[in-house]
Structure 1
């Protein structure tokens, strides 16, 4: 369909057109969802602002919930990839936990839109929200397991600890999002870091 549309417009079909168009739709959707919320966003507006067409939109996504779910997955993929890339050169397990926490707090603090999409607009889409939380919990538990194996923290239920970490981080970010005059989210990092690391027995 994309190739057909391009030919109708008198342009040759490029080999990367589908993926580039999908990325453009996701970028525009992120802005619109963040500004207007899930229920206030219309497919027509995403199409208009992306200089696309409804045919192109529905070629890539079945409906509004489809692009929203794809957007959430896309944002989570990028954040987790960033964490793992940054941690690849660090060998100390506690430093890795500390660095991962800092990356997430910095990412949300510098990209309020990202935090709102993942923690506010996803509410009501329980299956997708549970999936997002599960992915972060898995990453946290993995690095806690590494710390246990290295003897950096005591043996413990790392999955439960990861759930507690995710819950604490979620509440801190939500409080910041709903504050009338929020301080920089990064200001919470020293206290949050200390509380979470002490909770798993890190010294």
Structure 2
């Protein structure tokens, strides 16, 4: 029984992976079930054992995306955070997100291009996840302000909003468009911009 369930899940994931690749190349409207079964190298009957149609497999892809993103969010939020501002830790977290979206590039492309037009519940689901992340970031800023690490004039809600904007711009305008995105370089640029803005960094003043 366990082996049968594993085989079914493996086959289902095979169909999802194939659909993600085809949707990323052709878009939802131009993709047919024939395209998906050809990509997956399965019979038409096999497809219908798992999904009633094209929309249903697309909705399953959206579910998979939220599952993966939620797991990463929960893991990062559960970590014990230092009382001070740790640049190396910040950089590693940025890099973790960049690697995630680079690893799931086709999936991310499908979600960003198509999800809102296919799934009427997508925006509400995304907003709930986004709000949880923003509340976490706002809490971190408050804690660092209380510890005297960040300036008191910084509005935590506005900062979280700026971070969200950078996040989406980086994904749409760099990760999804560059053939070979340099994640290490991008993480450095991101962290330095957030910490120092466009003024010389503290180490530049000291010569370090």
Provide the C-alpha distance between the structure 2 equivalents of 1:130 and 1:197, rounded to a whole number of angstroms.
31
* Native 8 Å contact 2:109 2:176 kept in 1: no
Confirm or deny: 8 A CA contact 2:37 2:44 kept in the other structure.
yes
Contact 2:15 2:47 in 1 (8 A): yes
Q: Which runs of 5+ in 1 are unaligned?
A: 1-12
Partner of 1:138: 132
Matched, 1:69 2:52: no
Q: TM-score when scaled to structure 1?
A: 0.68
TM-score, normalised to structure 2, is: 0.67
Deviations 1:17-50 (A, max 9, x none): 4322221211111111122222221112212332
Aligned to 2:117: 124
Find the aligned partners of 1:191 and 1:97 in 2 and give their Cα distance.
12
Within 5 Å, which residues of 2 pair with 1:1-203? 14-85=4-75, 88-92=78-82, 94-95=85-86, 98-122=91-115, 124-125=117-118, 127=120, 128-129=122-123, 131-132=125-126, 134-149=128-143, 151=146, 153=150, 156=155, 158=157, 161-176=159-174, 184-196=182-194
Task: Extract structure 1 runs of 4+ deviating beyond 6 A.
Answer: none
* Alignment check: 8 A CA contact 2:174 2:181 kept: yes
Q: 1:170 to 1:52 in 2, by over 3 A?
A: same
Alpha-carbon distance between aligned partners in 1 of 2:175 and 2:41, rounded to the nearest angstrom = 31
- With a CA cutoff of 8 Å and minimum separation of 6, indicate the structure with the bigger relative contact order: 2
In the alignment, is the contact (CA less than 8 A) between 1:140 and 1:162 conserved in 2?
A: yes
Matched residue, 1:9: none
